[in-house]
Structure 1
Amino acid sequence: MNNIQPITTKKEIKSWYLYDFANSVFATPGLAMFVPILLDRLTTQKACSILKNNSNGEKVCDDNGHYEEEKIFVNIGFNITPESFAFAILGLSVLFQAFFFISFGTYADYGKNKKRLLTINTIIGSVLAMGFIVLFEEWSWFIVGCLTIITNILFGLAIVFYNAYLPLLVRNHGDYINANTDDKKMEVEDNLSNKISTYGFMWGYCGSLIVTILTFIIIVFYPNTTNRYDDRNTNISICLCIFFTGLWWLVFGLISISGLEEREGNEFPDDENWILFSWRRTYLTIKQLKNHKNIKYFMISYFLFSDAYST
C-alpha cells in the first residue's frame, strides 16, 4: 500500500455516511417494496391477456387478476405463474450478485479503483433505476424483470466499493495513527470500525424512512382510477416512486463521492489476473473453513440471515 495516504477527516467520514443515505433508499423502498409490486402487476396483466386471447375472450380475470377455474401463466420458454416469475427474478438477481461480487472483489481491495468504480456503478445503476418511469405498460413485463436483475447487481457492486473505504478510513484516522502499541491500534481499529459503520447504517435508515414517507404520499395522492389489477394509473404511480428512489441515489450518491478521497488499497501483484485472483482467493477461503468449524457455521448462518433479510 502507498505509505502516503490522506488523513481521514470528519468531512470525508460524513461523505461516507451520506452514500448510505443515498443508496439505501433504492434498496428499501425501491427494490424491496415497489419493484416486486410492479413486476407482479405487469406479469399478472400479461398472463390475463394471454388467457383472454387464447380463449377468444371467453375467459377473463377478475378485478384482482385471478381466474378461479385455472391458473394463469406467462411464457419464458416455459409456462410460469406471475408470482413464481417475480420470485425467480429476485432469486436470479441474488445469484448474479454473488458472481459479480466475487469477480470484482479484488478491484475494491487493491489499487486505486474504489472511487472510479463506485462512481460508475452509482451513475449507471441510478439512471437505470430512473428508467422504470417508462415501464408501466403490460408489454414491458419482461424488461422490468431484466432491469430488476441488472439494477440489483449494480446496487450490490456499489455497496462492495463503498464498504472497501471503511478499513482505509479507519487506518488513516488520527486516533489509529497516534496509537503507540499494536494492542492499542487493534482496539482503536475495532472501535472506529464499529462507530463509523453504525453511523453509516443510521444514515441509511434515515434516508429510507424519509423516502418511504415521500413515496407513500405519491401513492396516496396520485389519481388512481380503480383498484383493479390492470389499472394503468396505479402502475404509473409505482414507477414514479421507483424513479424517485433512483434520482435520490444519483444526486446524494454523487455528492457523497465528491467528498471521498481517492484512497489506494494494497498493490496488486503484476503476475495475477484481477478476476481469477478473486475467485482463487474465495476458493482458498472456503477451503480453509473446514479447519475453523465455528467460523464456518457463523458464515452459513450469516448468509442465510442476510439473504432472508434482503429478500
Structure 2
Amino acid sequence: MGCRHAQEILKKKKKKSYYRQTESFAFQVYPTACNGGLYSRPFHESFEETPMLVAVLTYMGYGILTIFGYLRDFLRAWKIERCHIAREREEQKDFVPLYQDFENFYTRNLYMRIRDSWNRPICSVPGAKLDLAERVSHDYNWTFEYTGRAVKDVINMGSYNYLGFAENSGACAEAAANVTLKYGVGVCSTRQEIGNLDRHEELEKLVAKFLGVESAMAFGMGFATNSMNIPALTGKGCLILSDELNHASLVLGARLSGSSIRIFKHNNMQSLEKLLGDAIVNGQPRTHRPWKKILIVVEGIYR
C-alpha cells in the first residue's frame, strides 16, 4: 500500500471517528516518503492465480498415479513385482509401525518416479548458479551411480543464500572477509551482555529508515527467535494479527504468548486494515476493553 494512499485512508477514518486512541496503542502514518525515502515509488506486489486447466490436469495426474500405485502394490503383494522400499519385517508386525502407510505408498509409487529432481549433490559454491554432480539410475531412481562429471551452471532456486555470502568471490565475499578480520566470526554472547556491536545498531537504524518507523530491532535468524520473542512482546489481553502464510515458528510463538490471534490474507493490506480497524473500534470480545497491545506479524521472505 502506498504511503499517500495510507494517509488518505487514515484521514477518512478519523473523520468517521473510526479509530480511537488508547493508552496502549496508537495508529500513526509517518509523513515521509515510502520505505524511509530510499525509494521514491511504493512497491506493488501481485500473484498470478493457478489456471483452472493446470489445476485440473495436476489433480488428474495424481489420481492416475494413485490408481496405478494400488495396482503395483497388488502385484508386489503377490510377489510379481519387487519392492525396494524400507518396511518392517514379518516378526515386527505386532509392534508399532516405523513407517506410515500412506507415506510409504507415496514414496514408492509417486516420489520415486521423480526422485532425481531432488537431493541433487552439488560440487560448487551455492551461488546464483551452481554445478551438480551428474548421476544415472538403472533401476528407476531406486539407486544412483555417479559418472564423475558435473552439470555446469544450473540456476539455483532452492538456497537460503539470499545475500550472496556463500560466494567465494565478489563484493559480498570481500566485505564478509574484511568484517571477519575486524570483528571475528561471532560475539559468543547475547547483545544484552557483551555481544552488542556498532554494526548491529547501524543495521537497526538502516532497517528503521527503510520501513519509515522510529526504530527497529534485529535478531539472529532461527526458530527460537520467533517462537520465544513473540511471547516476550505480547501476552493475555493482547492481539496478534498474523499473515496466513507465516512460518511455523511464528505460529508457535503466537500460540505460546497466550494472545488472541486473527489471521489476515497473505500480503493483503485491505484484509489487514479491516481486521485492524475492527480490533481498535470493538476492542476485546465480551468486555470491549481496548487491547493492551496489537502486534502485526509478517515475514520478510516467505519460503
Shorter-chain TM range is under 0.3
TM-score, length basis structure 2? 0.22
* Greater strand share, structure number: 2
TM-score, length basis structure 1? 0.22
* Greater helix share, structure number: 1
Q: Which has the larger radius of gyration?
A: 2
